[in-house]
Amino acid sequence: MPFRLKWKDEKEPITICDGIEIDRSIYDITESRARLLFVKAVIVYLLVMGGLGSFLTSMNIDFSHIVVNVACLSTAIICALMYRSYLIENLGYTIFFAVVAAYIIMFRDYINSGFYVIVNDTLDVAVTYLDLPGRQDFQEKIADRSLSVTMFSIAFVIISNIVVNNYISRTMRYIVAAFLTSTILLLSMYFEKEPDTIYTIMYFTGIVSAYFYRGSKHNVQHRKNSVFRYNGKQIAYALEYKIGIQAILTAFVFILVLSTVVNRIFPKNTYASSRSDDAYKISTVEYATNLATYGLAGVMNFYQNSGGLNSGRLGGVSSIHLDYQTDIRLRYTPYSYDTFYVKDFTGKEYRPFDNFWKQDDNYTTPELYTSAEATALKKAYENGAQYSAMGKVKVTNVDTEIRHYLPYYSLDSNREMNPGNYFMYTYYPWMGANKINAAQEYYDDFLDVPDANVPTIMKFVDEVGLRGLEDDEIVDKVINYYVENIPYTIRPGATPNDADFVNYFLDKNKKGYCAHYASAATLIFRYMGIPARYCEGYAVSFDNVVDNGELLEEENYSDYYSGYSEMGKTGVVEVNVTDAAAHAWVEIYDKNKGWVICDVTPPGDEEDTVDFWNAFSNLANSDNNQTATNINAPNVKIDDYLMNRIAFIILALFIVSVIIFFVLRLRPYFEYRKALSDADYSDAIILRYQRYMDKLRKREDFDKVNYAEQIAYLRDNQMIEISDDDYNDIIKILERAGFSSESISVEEYNKVYNILFK
């Protein structure tokens, strides 16, 4: 037995007033549901074919318009007519799915080839629009491209009709249907491609007609042939195919007029010359570029990372997604406006094509990499040398990986910290002004450049002109080249599977974030004879301290710092460090200074240096005594011609809205006056009475049903003055006017009119 919904018994009479009820014979008025379902099928056809046709024509993809339109309309009708009964629906969809599956299996080569044609042609548009050097092609097996696209389009419209019909024929859910059929149109809009007008009008006519149809309250699917149905509150049309036709025609005229008016007010050439790229669109260009060039692999992250970093693993991060949640917390005393670095990884050996840095097995703890420098700085402090100092920093692993989180130049025991644990480190800051003797043996391993990277590094060195320069000049030239030629981005795209991370960064992609700059610079410096190694951790700028730090007034400065400070005596701060501060940099070896930080990542815009105490004072009082003059408004330049156009459109829309408002408000009045002029005395008094009752219901909680109760309510609430005799006469007159075929007299009309309406 097919599944059946349990419907309400619609055969029950409906009482209007005492002694009067609507007879059940009203449910015997029937109409063929096929006409209504056909109308709904047309709406489905307009949505599906309008969406697909708009996309294909916008991309200039050739296909047989007649064949695809016929296939779309015919299958839309078939899908809609399946709702005539539960039996037809259950059996029909089973047979229909079998036929569709057979079609897809029989013509799978054509369908697959047609899909690849669409993908390749879309990628051609993307390559031109995004100015890409190339893309990945998909093999098309069928030489006749138009035929293969037509076969694919038939399969596409059939499947789309099944899905969209479920939302349109059942409940006229136009928003869901519009979303399902408009997704592919986003590509056309993104690449600024214009579809054929006919398909655009079809698509929007489908959306608007579904909206109008739903507003008429005829949208719910009904399984019977009765024209009327009772929904528990009122008798309503269940079948009325003319409503659907009116909705489609009205929507078509509305869209046609609207598009004509908009085109006249704001022509295409004017729009193209005056518009500017949307900020959201600009922010997604890199995603689109990566997707067009490398497919889905170019926009996916292949391993977990913090700010794009994962202990030397490279190339698997398409884009950095920051959560801005606290990873570690630092409690220390700022002594310089320079960045405060906390290191958790040091890479020694670069593995090309495997794309990762291997840490030295003999020096697994990062602290040993700067032990000689820390020893020299500690000795200088103990001897009271100029510019020497000693500091303490409390490092807490709030919620991040179990690693070493070490400040520079510390001799404390290194340990891995679990989330929730902390360690207090003593360190000896190096200000750059103090001279230290940290000469030590370094290893040739830190000069190693893999053979696979040598050609790319040699090409870079020759292009930038690094040969014959001193070490400091080499570093400066590399940094300047990065700034001027290789833009920073958090969406570089994942490195292709068959590519090397460094080679791909320098030769092809030429954009990246800190891990790209640091990895490439490490190999460049090594090739030029400068020992270098790759580092990861957190770089806490002074701006970060101000934005995310809290001044701990209860802590003593002397407990955390003593000695020389570039900033003078400051205070103890606690800084929440998020994944936004995760960073990669280079350490290079200087025979006079030992291992020193070399940050090669292009910087952002620098701000004026702010005094430590003023910074925290401004932060604490940021909400007080603010005036409009303290706010720096952005300098936005707006084209006057464009603004005049926008103002004109807004004014025109306002005027049209006012006209529509008054038309809608006055239309019932004119309809009432027209009906009143054509009515006899009985109909005229009932029209006036109903209008009077409608106004009363809007003002008060009025639920009286029949004439006797309504007139009694008016008398009891002193809305009318009426005697008992007139009370009985008016009720009789109204009942005869409303339910009798015999018309009332002019005297009776005037009596009711004078008592109720004057």
Q: What is the DSSP string of 666-696?
A: HHHHHHHHHHHHH--HHHHHHHHHHHHHHHH
Which residues, including other chains, have CB under 8 Å from residue 743's CB and lie 6 or more apart?
680, 681, 682, 737
Nearest one of 439, 447, 629, 584 to 528, comparing CA atoms: 447
Report whether 93 contacts 78 (CB < 8 A).
no
**pLDDT given at position 73:** 92
Looking at residue 517, its pLDDT comes to 95
Q: Name every residue whose Cβ is closer than 8 Å to that of residue 249 and which is 6 or more positions away in sequence.
A: none
Quick one: pLDDT at residue 15?
63
Cβ atoms 63, 203 nearer than 8 A: no
Name the token pair of 536: 């990861």
pLDDT in tens, 81-123: 887 766 777 677 788 888 888 888 888 888 888 888 888 888 7
* Interatomic CA distance for residues 82 and 74, integer angstroms: 13
Helix axes 197-215, 33-58, angle to 10 degrees: 140
DSSP state of 257: H
- Tell me, what amino acid is at 722? I
Our CA dihedral for 564, 567, 570, 575, rounded to 10 degrees, sits at -110
Query: Which residues, 6+ apart, have CB-to-CB distance to 41 below 8 Å?
Result: 73, 76, 77, 79, 80, 81, 165, 169
Residues pairing with 394 in the sheet: 331, 424
Buried b (16+ CB within 10 A) or exposed e, 208-238: bbbebbbeeebbebbeeebbbbbeeeeeebb
- Write out the two tokens for 51: 């969406």
How high is the pLDDT of residue 603? 74
Q: Within its chain, how far is the Cα of 583 from the centroid?
A: 27
pLDDT, residue 441, reads: 58
Domain residue extents for the chain: 14-274, 303-618, 642-756
Going by the DSSP 8-state scheme, the letter that residue 498 receives in this structure is T
Signed CA dihedral, 617, 623, 628, 633: sign only: positive
Alpha helix ranges (H) inside 266-343:
268-274, 279-294
Q: How far apart are CA 73 and CA 129, in angstroms?
A: 34
Q: What does 136-177 look like in DSSP terms, one character per residue? A: -------S-HHHHHHHHHHHHHHHHHHHHHHHHHHH--HHHH
Upper half-sphere CA count for residue 418 (Cβ side, 13 Å)? 0
Q: How far is CA 10 from CA 220, 229, 268, in A?
A: 16, 7, 55
Structure token digits, residue 386: 């100029």
Kind of pairing, strands 573-578 and 20-22?
unpaired
Angle between helices 65-81 and 145-171 (to 10 degrees): 30
pLDDT of residue 521: 96
pLDDT score recorded for residue 426: 92
CB neighbours of residue 467 within 10 Å: 10
Report the mean per-residue pLDDT for the chain: 78
List, for the chain, all residue ranges whose pLDDT scores fall below the cut of 70: 1-32, 85-86, 90, 130-138, 169-174, 181, 183, 215-241, 263, 266-304, 360-369, 414, 432-444, 604-654, 657-658, 661, 701-702, 758
Query: How far is residue 177's CA from residue 206's CA, in Å, rounded to a whole number?
Result: 10
The whole-model pTM stands at 0.53
